[in-house]
Amino acid sequence: MAVQASNQALAGAAARGLDKSAIEAVFSPRSVAVLGVTKSPGTVPYDIFHNILGSSYTGVLYPVAPGKRSIDSVRAYRYLTDIDDQVDLAVLVFPANVCEKALEHCAAKGVKGVIIISAGFREVGPEGVSREQRIKQICRENGIAMIGPNCLGVINTDPAISLNASFARKMPAEGRIAFLSQSGALCTAVLDYARGKGIGFSKFVSFGNKAGLTEMDLLEYLHDDEKTDVILLYLEELRNGRKLIEVARRITRGAGAKPILAIKSGRTPQGASAAASHTGSLAGEDAICEAVFREAGIIRVASIEELFNTAIMLTNQPLPKGDRLAIVTNAGGPGVMATDAAVRTGLSIARFAPETTAKLKAALPAAANIKNPVDVIGDARCDRYMAAMEAVLADDGVDQMLVILTPQSMTDIDDIARGVTRVHARADKPIACSFMGACDVASGIEILQADNIPHYILPEWACKAMTDVQRVIKWRSQPEEQPQQMPADRAAAEAIIDSLPAGYLREDQALAVLKAYGFSVPDYKLCRTADEAVQFADSIGYPAVLRIVSPQVVHKFDVKGVALNLQSAQAVRDAYRDMMAAVRAKVKDATIDGVIVRRMMPAGHEIILGAKQDAVFGPTLMYGLGGLFVEVFKDVTFALAPIGPDAAMRMIRDVKAHSLLEGARGTPPADVEAICQSLLRLSRLVTDFPRIAELDINPLLVWPAGKGGAVADVRIRLNGENQPQ
């Protein structure tokens, strides 16, 4: 076989009874049978057969077309089992209701790879779901690697195979980029788009309903595919987020690392907006996905354009040693725009060494700008561009170069493009180009693309792509971090949680859980009478705080269920009386368990820490500054638990308002270490207790550095799993 399948791919696939040869059979078959071919041009069955025939496939192709002697002079077979030779890959284009029969023939024949193009499965409703379950079972029982159903197909451009087993219009050019997509229709648009940009592919897979091989299996396979340098992924749904992270981390870091770029189309889960907690309402699938992709080293982009803009910077180019960019342009305006874009996206503008400046001064006219961005001015021809590019690339303070060209009447566009290709061939630094325009620059762009030199219509796109490359580099250099296990009294928390049904914990119970996990919780007591409240307040000192405890009261402030800054016993007594009356008036049938009495804490930074059990990703943490920052600006960060200190600090630093914690307008820096420790404790708590469905600590009050912080309010909701009877 041309390519060895990844051992890792088979670790996951082995669990489903697949061996090495099965996945290989999908991508590198020696023989292919198309089951259900018709004689009607323009139909999927006919077109797929013809695409394989027309793609110069190097293996043997068999049409299975009952009732037909031949399909376009290729001998046809009634059944797969009528074929004497071994068949590696079967492509099913029969209607869905006979695919099961066809798959049984595949199993009987010993076919190891199957692509089911046919629609009419899970996506059409209950009958389709059952149908899909049955074909899954057949594949599992017979060790068949299946792509689909309901997919566009698979393309392998390796000249040793050259297979277009899809109903895409044309075979793409060979390239070093692999594309995996959950949307078949998008695939055809992507192929056409890439063709227009001169971008080729190594492998192209539409995996449809992913009833067999999933994106995880395919990612692992591509990890070891020697023909693939970059993996692009389009996803609509994630079923196993943690597995994706595990697989992606292996691929994007370490030996043989390959970048993964992804588009994940957003879907707002209905539950997110209905959640009662801040965490529940903010932690929609898309928000968590953003964080998860970051943790997995997957570069998430927003569009097909961005996907390929970054992909082409990562193929056929060395990685830059740093982020220092040099710009060579024949137009001042675009040069400045590119500089602005570079700074905005996080790149550095290289400062030239004196030798470089001297070279530029000697080679360029007096009117040229010899600082960065180098402006060779509007009448520049190839010689001036060459002198500038060579001087700049030779500078050790330059890591990468962007060449901008605007088509003046004297600009020899094609010669300059060829000059760039000559410089590129000798360079050990990445080069990108922006020949701005559409018509006059078209032939020059073709010259660049033919040499795989990344080209962008706008310099800003080049800068964004270069910044994404920096993200890849930074990710690879980040050390692998282990989660940190904070000390905790798990048994004490367990005693509380295991004794309770689904629903919200009383505040005293929630505080007790946090205390067991080492959170700083001020002394408190659940008091059921005014006398008890006064007695406790006397013991802990004033000012005191009273907080109503009632299963029917979730938002305490809304019902006057919180009294602050109570300076005396009488104030406590009055507050107790008033609170009972107010709550009973506002919440008619409230069951009042009492009030939490605690000492009033000094003002500090208000932080929100949250957690939820996400259906796709499991225990998920949220962090942000409280108050307006979370309610209005939604300035929060997410991570999957468990986390270590580095991940906790990243969550803290990544909120936009973080600078407020570093000290603003003369205020001292906050105790960020205390926040970090609290995040780690929360991480352990929600990992240990999957029954914690949602948790909000809002606020965690944090004081100046060294003074720590403490929980001012907490809500914990348990789910119903393993609840007591």
Which residue, 36 or 642, is less far from another protein as judged by CB?
Answer: 36
Q: Least distance to another protein from the beta carbon of 343, Å? A: 59
Instruction: Report how far residue 356's alpha carbon sits from residue 61's, in angstroms, rounded to the nearest whole number.
Output: 60
Tell me which residue of 406, 380, 416, 402 sits closest to 455, measured CA to CA.
402
Q: Least distance to another protein from the beta carbon of 63, Å? A: 11
Q: Least distance to another protein from the beta carbon of 43, Å? A: 7
Cβ atoms within 10 Å of 395's Cβ, excluding its own: 22
Which residue, 65 or 655, is less far from another protein as judged by CB?
Answer: 65
41-70 burial, b if ≥16 CB within 10 A, otherwise e? eeebbbbbbbbbbebebebebbbbbeeeee
Q: Least distance to another protein from the beta carbon of 114, Å? A: 16
Tell me which residue of 371, 433, 376, 369 sits closest to 400, measured CA to CA.
433
Token reading at 444 = 């020059």
Q: Least distance to another protein from the beta carbon of 130, Å? A: 16
Which residue, 138 or 257, is less far from another protein as judged by CB?
Answer: 138
Which residue, 66 or 346, is less far from another protein as judged by CB?
Answer: 66
Is the distance from CB of 449 to CB of 198 less than 8 angstroms?
Answer: yes
Q: Least distance to another protein from the beta carbon of 125, Å? A: 16
Q: Least distance to another protein from the beta carbon of 25, Å? A: 23
What are the CA-CA distances from residue 666 to residues 8, 662, 671 (Å)? 54, 10, 15
Q: Which phi-psi region, left, alpha or beta, contains residue 569 (left: φ > 0; alpha: ψ -120 to 50)?
A: alpha
Token reading at 369 = 């700008």
Residue 396, classed as helix, strand or coil, is coil
Greatest extent of the chain over all pairs of C-alpha atoms, in Å: 101
Q: Least distance to another protein from the beta carbon of 37, Å? A: 9
Instruction: Report how far residue 339's alpha carbon sits from residue 349's, in angstroms, rounded to the nearest whole number.
Output: 7
Q: Which residues bind another protein (CB under 8 A)?
A: 36, 38-40, 43, 65-68, 78, 94-95, 97-98, 101-102
Which residue, 104 or 635, is less far from another protein as judged by CB?
Answer: 104
Which residue, 97 or 565, is less far from another protein as judged by CB?
Answer: 97
- Quick one: CA dihedral 652, 660, 701, 625, positive or negative? negative
Residues whose CB falls within 8 Å of the CB of residue 294, separated by 6 or more in sequence, listed in order = 300
Which residue, 67 or 126, is less far from another protein as judged by CB?
Answer: 67
Q: Least distance to another protein from the beta carbon of 67, Å? A: 3
Task: Provide DSSP, 229-295.
Answer: SEEEEEES--S-HHHHHHHHHHHHSSTT---EEEEE-----HHHHH-SSHHHHH--HHHHHHHHHHH
Strand arrangement of the beta sheet that strand 562-566 belongs to: 524-527, 594-599, 544-549, 562-566
Q: Least distance to another protein from the beta carbon of 39, Å? A: 8
Which residue, 103 or 338, is less far from another protein as judged by CB?
Answer: 103
Token reading at 288 = 């968590």
Which residue, 93 or 191, is less far from another protein as judged by CB?
Answer: 93
Tell me which residue of 568, 590, 570, 566 sits closest to 580, measured CA to CA.
590
Which residue, 109 or 249, is less far from another protein as judged by CB?
Answer: 109
Which residue, 125 or 254, is less far from another protein as judged by CB?
Answer: 125
Tell me which residue of 172, 163, 166 sits closest to 191, measured CA to CA.
172
Q: Least distance to another protein from the beta carbon of 80, Å? A: 11
Which residue, 98 or 358, is less far from another protein as judged by CB?
Answer: 98
What are the CA-CA distances from residue 299 to residues 39, 127, 262, 454, 643 (Å)? 44, 38, 6, 18, 20
Q: Least distance to another protein from the beta carbon of 60, Å? A: 21
Is the distance from CB of 61 to CB of 88 less than 8 angstroms?
Answer: no
Q: Least distance to another protein from the beta carbon of 450, Å? A: 43
Which residue, 79 or 193, is less far from another protein as judged by CB?
Answer: 79
Task: Provide DSSP, 5-69.
Answer: PPHHHHHHHHTTT--HHHHHHHHS-SEEEEET--S-TTSHHHHHHHHHHHTT-SSEEEEE-TT-S
Which residue, 65 or 448, is less far from another protein as judged by CB?
Answer: 65
Is the distance from CB of 181 to CB of 231 less than 8 angstroms?
Answer: no
Is the distance from CB of 330 to CB of 408 less than 8 angstroms?
Answer: yes
What are the CA-CA distances from residue 129 to residues 95, 107, 134, 149, 184 (Å)? 15, 21, 9, 11, 19
Q: Least distance to another protein from the beta carbon of 66, Å? A: 4
